[in-house]
Every structure is written in C-alpha cells, then in structure tokens.
Amino acid sequence: MTRYLAERLLAVVPTLLALTLVAFVLTTAARGDPALEALQQAGDTPTPETLAVYRKQLGLDQPFPVRYARWVQGAVQGDLGKSYLSRRPVARVIGERVRATLILGTSALALSTVVGVGLGTLFAMRRDTWLDQAGRLFTLVFASVPSFWMAIALIVLFGEKLRLLPVAGFGVDRHLVLPTVALALGPSASLMRLTRARMLEVMGQDHVRTARAKGLGGGVVARRHVLRNAAVPIASILGLRFGHILAGAIIVESIFAWPGMGSVVLTAISGRDLPVIGGYVLIARLLFIGANLVVDVSYVLLDPRIRLGARGGTA
C-alpha cells in the first residue's frame, strides 16, 4: 500500500508541472503589465523609472524560463513566492482561505453523494414507474444547469422572496446552506444517473437473482448485493466530482461572498498576479489528488477482491 501511494504521488509530479506551466504561459501571454497593475492598485503614479525598478524587484526583468524555474524551485521547498499586488507570501494568502473552500467543497461533496446515491438507488428500485421517469427528468435538467445560475436562482428564491436563508457571509451554519446546495445539485444529478445505471446493470446479474430466489427482501438485496457491487465505479466518479466542485467554487464563492480561494484567484487573474495564480493551481491540484488517493484506497474496503499492486493496478 505504501509503495502504491508513493508511486501515485510521483506519477502526478509531471501533471503538476504541466498545469503550473500552462497557468504561467497563459498569464504571461495576456495583455497588461503586472508591475503597472500593482503600482496602480497601490495608489502610486507609474513612471518609466518606477516601473523599471518595480519590475526588477518582482523579477519580471528576467526571461520567462528563469522566472518559472525559480518559482518551481521555491514551491518544492514550500515557498510559493510573494504576491505582486499585496507583497505578502502566497502560501499565507492562499492558506488563509483554504479552510473555507474545504468546508464548502466537502459539504457539497457529502450532500451530492447522499442525494445522488440515495435517489439513484431509489430510481433503480422503482424502474419504469412514474417516480423513475420524474427522477430521470430531474437529473437531466439539473445536470445541465451551471452552478453559478443555480446560485443566483437560490438567492432570488430563498434570500429575496422567502427570506429564509442568508445570501452572503461565512459560517458553518445557515450561511453554508445555499452555496452548498448550489455546488451540489449538478454533481448529485449526474451521480443519480450513474448510480441508477450501475444498479440496473448489477440487478440483472445471477447472484442478485439467486438472492431474490432465497426470499431476501428488496431492501436487503439492494444494500448487500446490488449497491455493494456498484460501489466501485460510483466511488471513482466521486474523486472527479470533487475536482469539478473545486472549479465551480471559484464563481459560487464570489456570488455568496464566501471567503474562500475563489475571490483570491479572481483578484489575481484580474491583476495578473502570477505567483498567486501558480500557487492556486498547485494547491487546488494537490487537493484534487488527495481526494482521488482517498478514493483509490477505498476500493479495497468496498470490494475485497481488489488488491492494489506494486504497479498501481488491480489483481
């Protein structure tokens, strides 16, 4: 197990480097001057002399490969550099917001898992009934709705019309409800479809028919024989859904004034704050990798037939 995890971590290093390189290339190719943006936001009058001095302080006078290599070298040592705009360490700027994003992301993932797996199982057990038909229509609609549109609709309905829930601010209480629902509805809808399809596939297998022939009830068959065998592909999609939730959280956090990493990265993009953008890409990718490692390890618990081999495969 230890060797497998080590190999998985080493395998993602090239992906991390490629992602940070793409982020730096895109921001460098964009119009504007980071030094000019930083001086203007600081209230200083940019002149050619001050721009030249500030660009040298930021290291912007160096070629792109040199700047990128220095950033990667510092990131390996835990130093993500300093923000061009605030001049604060990037690790501290993003670190202050990671907790809020993790709270929102894990809450949305948990809600989407409970709703998606629960309703998907129910729809499969009531196949071709009016409930199943309504559920398929529900999943089709909500899987197609962007999270930011859902966030606005929830604000209008529950914030302005019904005045039941707060629409802005941070708190592990009523403030968490609307942004969590906005992020969870889309993933839960697609998870319902996957769960239903996988459940129906397993329900047609011989061991399920044998269990029913023994007189076991439908609930027992669903839990012990159907859902257990359908759990591995469902768990696989959860790791991917966590990445989608993190991506959607950038806009949703801004809509609900949630103090997560979303507002930080949006400010960095508008101000071309390259160290913050690179730091966000790195940290978000590490969170995504961590979630998928948890999913990989869970395979053994969900299906004892699976053994993680030294080459990262199954046997």
The yes-or-no verdict on residue 100 having pLDDT over 80 is yes
Buried b / exposed e over 61-98, threshold 16 CB at 10 Å, is eeeeeebbeebbeebeeeebbbbbbbeebbbebbeebe
3-class DSSP state of 1: coil
pTM over 0.95, yes/no: no
pLDDT of residue 304: 58
Average of per-residue pLDDT across 157-173:
85
Residues 6 or more apart whose Cβ sits within 8 Å of residue 299: 232, 235, 306, 308, 314
In the chain, what are the domain boundaries? 95-263
Please give the mean pLDDT across all residues of the chain: 78
For the chain, the maximum distance between any two Cα atoms, rounded to a whole number of angstroms, is 86
pLDDT of residue 209: 63
Tens of pLDDT, residue by residue over 194-221, are 888 887 777 666 666 666 666 665 666 6
Residues 6 or more apart whose Cβ sits within 8 Å of residue 142: 150, 185, 186, 188, 189
Q: CATH says 95-263 is which class? A: mainly alpha
Amino acid found at 174:
R
Structure tokens at 249: 């959280």
Please answer whether residues 13 and 6 qualify as being in contact, where contact means their C-beta atoms are separated by less than 8 angstroms. Answer: no
Tens of pLDDT, residue by residue over 251-284, are 888 889 888 888 888 888 877 777 888 888 888 8
Q: How confident is the model at residue 180 (pLDDT cuts 50, 70, 90)?
A: very high
pLDDT of residue 223: 61
